[in-house]
């Protein structure tokens, strides 16, 4: 048997559930006629939570927005500022990439190929850790690392603030 508190919780659940069904049924009975989606202030439903507190009432495949201004929905300022931050993003800009030199041993043995490096471009404008992904013998990997350390670049920026980026850099070694 349930105690009194159990019955109180169950009764409040039933009340909330019934109220939500009534709201949904009311929203479904609203007649929008032949108005376009923009005129109705209707937003497409998102699969995951939309995060907008102004939108409610599930009507078929759309969310009806009751907090729209001038017939156009504008999300709360905290969501607008996030969009603004993403729009002010600038990618890493490599200004100069010095060539890697052949070693005399590699030239004598006709070694050709490419060296692939994982380079950390720091927010302060300097090259950080360099890790070889694909190497070549006879000192060519070391020459590629030495050349990568001399790369000049403008750091990537998000909202005006620089941040660290990891990119792959390739050096090709070909004997003409």
Residue range 22-59, pLDDT digits in tens? 676 666 665 555 444 444 444 444 444 444 444 444 44
Q: Is the model's pLDDT at 119 over the cut of 90?
A: yes
- What pLDDT shows up at residue 2? 58
**Confidence check: pLDDT of 101 > 70:** yes
What pLDDT, on a 0 to 100 scale, did the predictor assign at position 18?
A: 79
pLDDT tier at 16 (50, 70, 90 boundaries)? confident
Q: CA–CA separation, 142 vs 136, rounded Å?
A: 9
When mean pLDDT is compared across 4-18, 35-49, 116-130, 158-172, the lowest value belongs to 35-49
Q: For residue range 103-117, list pLDDT tens digits in order.
A: 999 999 999 999 999
pLDDT of residue 47: 44
C-alpha–C-alpha distance, residues 66 and 84, integer Å = 24
Nearest alpha-carbon partner for 76 in 57, 44, 42, 50: 50
72 pLDDT higher than 60 = no
């Amino acid at each position: 048997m349930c105690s009194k508190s159990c019955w109180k919780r169950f009764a409040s659940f039933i009340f909330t559930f019934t109220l939500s069904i009534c709201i949904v049924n009311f929203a479904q009975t609203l007649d929008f006629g032949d108005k376009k989606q923009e005129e109705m202030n209707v937003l497409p439903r998102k699969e995951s939570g939309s995060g907008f507190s102004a939108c409610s009432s599930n009507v078929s495949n759309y969310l009806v927005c009751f907090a729209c201004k001038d017939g156009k929905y504008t999300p709360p300022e905290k969501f607008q500022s996030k969009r603004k931050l993403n729009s002010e993003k600038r990618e890493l800009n490599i200004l100069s990439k010095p060539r890697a030199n052949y070693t005399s041993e590699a030239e004598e043995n006709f070694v050709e190929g490419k060296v692939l490096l994982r380079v950390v471009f720091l927010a302060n404008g300097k090259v950080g850790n360099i890790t070889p992904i694909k190497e070549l013998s006879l000192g060519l990997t070391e020459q590629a690392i030495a050349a990568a350390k001399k790369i000049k670049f403008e750091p990537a920026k998000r909202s005006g603030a620089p941040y660290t980026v990891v990119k792959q850099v390739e050096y090709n070694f070909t004997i003409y």
